[in-house]
């Protein structure tokens, strides 16, 4: 109890700064408008009288991962209402693409009063957390309301595990609240067990991110975009890049242009508020750049195509030959991003040395000769040169075959959730 009080006091002190970062107006960032109240538990009631399954997906990445899962749940039980919460407005924008399949609300801040008000308004029958977004007061209030809590597609890097160890007393408060933790890998399950999660609650289902379905529409749009960019141009994408990484990517592209003057870089910053800054940065470095949102014609002289839209990553990766995955050349700040999307799309994949968030996946891709790891902007341009010298996309083919062989986590996850629900009904 004392630990929870101390945590809540610290959260109260930190809340103004957290909220400032959340609400701060930034270019290309959707506004919260009057819906900011939902963060404090002032939550509108849902349209359905049935108790919903509540899925929490923090931001864009988790929302994208949750999308096929949500569609599969709805397919199994069309009458079951689904409530999705996100913390960010960019996550909300992604969920809005699901239309009438779900209702969206913003996640309340981790204060007991806000969570209680949220639960009173929404009356969920079950909580499913995508990946690992654990908040002590939220879990406690949901558990007290006798609502089962499942962590879906759970992952826990060694770095995150060590961080949780530093606040072990706080983590221990959350352990009794968890019903099931459906892990991506054996390593994730092992780390959760090290933190004290009961082994009986740990199930390895695989990563639902393997079960990416590329629609015919996206494939067609990718082909059309590639025609616009130039079918015979050497085209690579730097996906989900971060501040401090963009300069390295542009330096690599400048070096590449010396030997391949018609090479084209599709540059996609991770955060939409940086789109305008990235356009200016490209110009400052002397590149001829076209923004996707302007729909300007891409000329033979265009050197950088700036992907300044949200939710089109698959489409943009599909239009490239080689994909460099960002978040991997900025030290240990980020730990890389999801390399499964380019793998499913059969693209040659390059990543930087910092990929701890996807360590097991990258290592398995390495074992299957399906990825290249570089350590600097210089080695990035060298690797691009090498791959293009005799380009046959063997790495991409290997990545695709391996990714397809690992699909099935979506079905596993839904089955385990269904089994739990059946057991619960039987025990009543």
Concatenated DSSP letters for 322-387?
EEEESSSSSTTSS-----HHHHHTT-EEEE-S--GGGHHHHHHHHHTT--EE--SHHHHHHHHHHH
Percent of the chain with pLDDT over 90: 71
Positions annotated as catalytic residues are 62
| Rounded distance between C-alpha atoms, residue 424 and residue 418, angstroms | 10
Instruction: Set out the domains of the chain in order of their start, with CATH numbers.
Output: 31-206+408-427 (3.40.50.11720), 216-405 (3.40.50.2000)
Compute the average pLDDT of residues 4-17: 92
Assess whether pLDDT exceeds 80 at residue 420: no
Compute the average pLDDT of residues 15-33: 84
**DSSP classification of residue 51:** P
Percent of the chain with pLDDT over 70: 97
101 confidence band (pLDDT: 50, 70, 90)? very high
403 confidence band (pLDDT: 50, 70, 90)? very high
Compute the average pLDDT of residues 172-189: 93
424 confidence band (pLDDT: 50, 70, 90)? low
33 confidence band (pLDDT: 50, 70, 90)? confident
Q: Which pLDDT score, from 0 to 100, does residue 196 have?
A: 93
State the Cα angle at 246 between 240 and 248, rounded to 5°.
125
Q: Which pLDDT score, from 0 to 100, does residue 392 have?
A: 83
| Rounded distance between C-alpha atoms, residue 129 and residue 181, angstroms | 9
Assess whether pLDDT exceeds 90 at residue 237: yes
Look up tokens 């913390």; give the residue.
87
239 SS3 class = strand
What are the DSSP calls for 107-139, one per residue?
PPPS-HHHHHHHHHHH--SEEEEESS---HHHH
pLDDT in tens, 62-85: 888 888 899 999 998 899 999 999
Compute the average pLDDT of residues 168-193: 93
Q: Tokens standing for 241?
A: 């890049």
| Rounded distance between C-alpha atoms, residue 264 and residue 280, angstroms | 18
Among 427, 365, 419, 423, smallest CA distance to 182 is for 419
| Rounded distance between C-alpha atoms, residue 373 and residue 359, angstroms | 12
pLDDT in tens, 107-119: 999 999 999 999 9
Assess whether pLDDT exceeds 90 at residue 131: no
Assess whether pLDDT exceeds 70 at residue 428: no
Compute the average pLDDT of residues 381-388: 92
pTM: 0.78
């Amino acid at each position: 109890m004392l630990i929870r009080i101390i945590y809540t006091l610290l959260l109260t002190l930190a809340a103004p700064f957290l909220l400032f970062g959340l609400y701060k107006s930034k270019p290309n960032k959707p506004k919260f408008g009057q819906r900011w109240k939902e963060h404090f538990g002032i939550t509108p009631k849902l349209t359905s009288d049935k108790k919903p399954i509540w899925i929490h997906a923090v931001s864009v990445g988790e929302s994208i991962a949750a999308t096929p899962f949500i569609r599969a749940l709805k397919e199994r039980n069309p009458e079951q209402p689904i409530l999705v919460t996100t913390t960010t407005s960019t996550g909300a924008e992604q969920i809005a693409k699901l239309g009438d399949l779900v209702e969206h609300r913003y996640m309340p801040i981790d204060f007991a009063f806000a969570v209680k008000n949220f639960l009173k308004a929404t009356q969920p029958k079950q909580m499913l957390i995508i990946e690992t977004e654990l908040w002590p007061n939220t879990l406690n209030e949901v558990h007290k309301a006798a609502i089962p809590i499942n962590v879906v597609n759970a992952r826990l890097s060694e770095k995150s595990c060590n961080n949780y160890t530093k606040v072990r007393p706080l983590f221990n408060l959350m352990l009794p609240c968890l019903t099931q933790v459906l892990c991506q890998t054996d390593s994730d399950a092992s780390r959760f067990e090290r933190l004290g999660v009961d082994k009986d609650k740990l199930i390895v289902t695989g990563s639902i991110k393997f079960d990416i379905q590329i629609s015919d529409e996206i494939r067609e749009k990718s082909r059309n975009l590639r025609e616009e960019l130039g079918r015979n141009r050497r085209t690579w994408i730097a996906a989900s890049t971060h501040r401090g990484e963009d300069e390295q990517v542009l330096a690599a592209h400048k070096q590449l242009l010396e030997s391949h003057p018609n090479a084209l870089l599709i540059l996609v910053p991770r955060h939409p508020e940086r789109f305008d800054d990235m356009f200016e940065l490209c110009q400052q470095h002397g590149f001829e750049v076209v923004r996707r949102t302007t729909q300007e014609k891409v000329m033979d002289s265009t050197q950088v195509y700036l992907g300044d839209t949200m939710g089109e990553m698959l489409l943009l990766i599909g239009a490239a030959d080689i994909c460099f995955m960002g978040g991997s050349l900025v030290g240990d700040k980020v730990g890389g991003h999801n390399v499964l999307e380019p793998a499913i799309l059969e693209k040659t994949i390059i990543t930087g040395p910092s990929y701890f968030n996807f360590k097991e996946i990258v290592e398995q891709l390495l074992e299957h000769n399906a990825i290249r790891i570089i350590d600097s902007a210089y080695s990035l341009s060298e690797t691009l040169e090498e791959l293009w010298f005799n380009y046959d996309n063997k790495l991409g083919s290997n990545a695709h075959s391996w990714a397809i062989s690992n699909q099935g986590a979506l079905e596993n996850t839904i089955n385990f959730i269904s089994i739990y629900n059946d057991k619960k009904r039987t025990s009543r």
